[in-house]
Amino acid sequence: AYDDRWATLAAAGESVHGEADLVASFGPSSVLDAGCGTGRVAIELARRGVGVVGVDGDPSMLDAAHAKAPELDWRLDDLMTVEIGARFDSIVAAGNVMIFLEPGTEARVVGNMSRHLAPGGCLIAGFELGRGYDIAAYDADAEAAGLALADRWSTWERAPWSPGAAYAVSVHVRPG
């Protein structure tokens, strides 16, 4: 059912790859899709020649991703503890991943994602605001994980950010 929404939008001529467009604009050769769901973003990035690993904690979502792209590296794991054994140019957490985490685990997830970033790499996360995890807490968690805010928009298509926006797409960079 999750994929049906995107298929309907695509059939209507809507762009369904805003997340992949934004991530690709940073020129990564490797991306960790954290909370990859059914693989929409990871599959599009791979189609563009980016090396991708997708991680999700929901077996049914990963089954759907694997069915669509069995050649990609899909991993069933917890974002708080997953160990990929690699560092990535970018990590994307699209689809409200941050607000779907177990409350109180967000800082540990951000810390673990930071460990998987190469020097100079960026963590790109987009999520709805006003749903329990606010942007100030996210920024504090990113800073505690050694990341610096580089940019922020209110959509994946880079609409300008303003306080009070309902959605935030943040880019935090690992110095290096």
The HSE-up count of residue 58 (CA atoms within 13 Å, CB side) is: 14
pTM comes to: 0.92
| pLDDT score of 17 | 78
* Res 2 pLDDT > 70: no
What is the arithmetic mean of pLDDT over 40-69?
A: 96
| pLDDT score of 5 | 67
Token code pair at residue 159: 């609409």
Note the maximum CA span of the chain: 43
CB 54, CB 72: distance < 8 Å: yes
| pLDDT score of 9 | 59
End-to-end CA distance of the chain: 41
- Report the alpha-carbon distance of residue 155 to residue 84 in Å, rounded: 29
CB 85, CB 73: distance < 8 Å: no
109: nearest Cα among 119, 120, 127, 63: 127
CB 104, CB 141: distance < 8 Å: no
